[in-house]
Chain A
Amino acid sequence: MSETPLPDVVPTARKFPWGALLAFVGLCAVLGVVGVGLARSQQGTVVVGREAPNFVLTTFDGEQISLRSLRGKIVVVNFWASWCKPCEQEAADLEAAWRAYQPDGDVIFLGIAWSDIETDAKAYMDRFGITYPNGFDLGTRISQTYRTTGVPETYIIDQDGVLAAIKIGPFESVAEIRAVIDALRK
């Protein structure tokens, strides 16, 4: 019995699914961006025990102070705002602590006015007699670097530039401020 050869079955040419590929890539891109955003938001504040991020503060007097240049000293970085009521609670205590340490020169206080108006910030400083260097958080770059969650927040950096303590909210007393600083003095 002679067999007729089977006809070749010609598969129909399928087009490459460019549309699906584009949609997939787009979806991945969106998910990537959302993921990065979520990861950033989950990072929280900077970590105690690690090197404190450097910043340069331009004070209201026009002086530029780099955190790195203060290596060897204890640095108290206080974020505040003139419209912030809890900041008022600790303003006088911070100034009192600063005046207590100022003669020795081994502790530096830096005030960073966050999202404030210059005239209001200066009026606030006059009201509480603040004399340690203060300046604007221009473009909120410093607060973003430290990933602050609001004001007041205080970051205490040791002589090696390592973040030693974080205080979220106002200090209750001069004694509380001094207790943190004295623990770092050698």
Chain B
Amino acid sequence: MRPDHHPSRKILLALLLALSLGALLTAAAFAQEPTPSDDEVNRVASQLYCPVCESTPLDVCPTQACAQWREVVRQKLAQGWTDEQIKTYFVELYGERVLATPPARGLNLLMYIAPPLGILFGVYLVWRTLRKRAPAAAAPVEAPPPADAATDEYVRRLEEELRKR
């Protein structure tokens, strides 16, 4: 068997090896999805509540189940889902009760309308009360206006009638 001393073959082999290695490394880099940070996960989790605990935001919930739900958020973020898409996904699975901010419709509307209305009404009451009191306190005491003759007569007769009784 004749040994292969052809230099161009060696170069070609080396090139092929380098290309294959390069392709492998590139594929591995593309296969790795970016891992969202805890802050990114918590940004979404803070907009959600634990589906099974009472009034506990998902970002601070200490249970194992919540940790798993935060992992779901992380996975979805890694897959490129938006905050809204993740929230919709949670609502489809666990209902609207998982939303930190309930949608403004139906009875939920009361939560959005009642407090501002109450505040406005309170401000109106305060303003009205102050308006009524302010002139009385600020205005100088004036002499009573002269009563007209008819009223005088009325008062005189009223007193007379009262005396008779």
Chain A residues with CB under 8 Å of chain B are: 4, 6-7, 19, 22-23, 26, 29-30, 33, 81, 83, 115, 117, 120, 136, 138-141, 144
Contacts and interface: CB of A to CB of B under 8 A. Distances in A.
A30 B114 contact: yes
Given A33-B110, A140-B97, A19 B52 contact: no
Nearest to B66: A83
Given A26-B118, A83-B64, A83-B65, A19 B124 contact: yes
Contacts of A144: 95
B105 to A, nearest CB: 15
12 contacts: A6-B154, A19-B125, A19-B128, A29-B114, A30-B110, A30-B114, A83-B63, A115-B94, A117-B69, A117-B72, A139-B94, A139-B95
A144 B157 CA distance: 76
A7 B65 CA distance: 83
B145 to A, nearest CB: 16
B57 to A, nearest CB: 16
Question: At the interface, is chain B mostly helix, strand, loop or mixed?
Answer: helix
B121 A23 contact: yes
A117 B68 contact: yes
Q: Which 4 A-B pairs have the closest CB atoms?
A: A7-B150, A115-B51, A140-B95, A83-B65
A139 B91 contact: yes
A17 to B, nearest CB: 11
A29 B96 CA distance: 23
Contacts of B68: 83, 117, 120
Interface in B59-77: 63-65, 68-69, 72
Contact of B117 (A26, A120, A138): A26
